[in-house]
Amino acid sequence: MEPLRIGILGAARISGRAIGEPAKLTGARLVAVAARDADRAEAFAAEHGVERVHASYQALLDDPEVEAIYNPLANGLHGPWNLKALAAGKHVLTEKPSASNAAEAMQVRDAVRSSGLVFMEAFHYAYHPVMRRLLELVAKGELGELQHVEATMVMPPPPEDDPRWSLPLAGGAVMDVGCYALHAQRMFTPYAGGAPRLVSARAGERKRLPGVDEWLNADLEFPNGATGAVRTSMAAEEVEFSLKVVGSRGEAFAPFYVLPQRDDRVVVTTKEDTWVEHRGTRTSYTYQLEAFTGAVRNGAPVLTDVDDALATMELIDACYVAAGMTPRPASAV
């Protein structure tokens, strides 16, 4: 299979882990990178074997050898540059969330549908065997009927000048880490009679940053009566990225489901026994790039496609509104 030819918009910290290392493991070509800081782009290219550096994001999109882009820009720039990439005829692997709000996500959805291009939102954890096993335990009835899903995504605060605290760049705890917890709830839709609906949400603003959520907790309910709980924060003392699934016959717990390469355990507890499964520390980003490549090259279905992205964004917006805040504005930057 011909190597996928990728261009990278920006030299963000995550790019090395999310695309640089997986490209080496999967044989993808990193054709080009562009960043606002030319020196940073040159350093990134040298470190990760990127073939060339472009002077602007648009120049990268105009490169005929680039067939797919990876968009790791600040949240508020996901939507605009996803739209520009699609208009340029490029397949898109975008960091989450795919847009600043549901209205913008709908624009991206419509652009993808009219283009016929592959679009994938980078909820990489969904492609790893840890998450696949949690879903399998429910699908096969090993935990009994689904009763409760509890997702926790908390971390210590980024620096005060970090874009993740910027309202104009669609920042906040939900947009950075909470979106994983909300997406994980939606992953159980096939086993609970349908998608979860938001019951209530509570949030707290970051001091001196009006409108920017430092934390948010949400309660959800599935059509079959199962409940969901989301806890997210960017002001915790320690990192906790965990997921617990409770059924009528037992429960399963993944202590680090979003980054299973750091901890690949799935702890299963039933009335009869408790055991620990290790599902492998091969990176979730590598599984994700393989899935993206398969979709581009072979037309394989995309788990985190543009319709999934829109549904997640609608749930994010609903959480903000229920918590007395406003959805993130579309970026004017």
Which residues carry out catalysis? 96
In angstroms, the Cα distances linking 14 to 11, 73, 181, 187, 255 are 8, 10, 19, 24, 21
Concatenating the DSSP letter of every residue in 254-297 gives ETBTTSTTT--EEEEEESS-EEEEE---S-HHHHHHHHHHHHHH
Question: Hey, CA dihedral for 197, 203, 205, 206, is it positive or negative?
Answer: negative
Residues sharing a CB contact under 8 Å with residue 161, sequence separation 6 or more, in sequence order: none
E strands, 67-160, in order = 68-71, 91-94, 119-121, 146-154
What would the two tokens of residue 13 be? 């910290």
Residue type, 271: K
Burial of 103 (0-12, 13-18, 19+ CB in 10 A): middle
- In the sheet with 5-9, reading across from the earlier edge strand, the strands are 52-54, 29-34, 5-9, 68-71, 91-94, 119-121
What would the two tokens of residue 122 be? 């980078």
CB 105 within 8 A of CB 112: no
Pairing of strands 265-270, 274-278: antiparallel
Measured distance CA(159)–CA(161) in Å, rounded: 5
* 49: helix, strand or coil: coil
Measured distance CA(189)–CA(223) in Å, rounded: 9
Measured distance CA(23)–CA(29) in Å, rounded: 7
In angstroms, the Cα distances linking 229 to 46, 151, 196 are 44, 6, 11
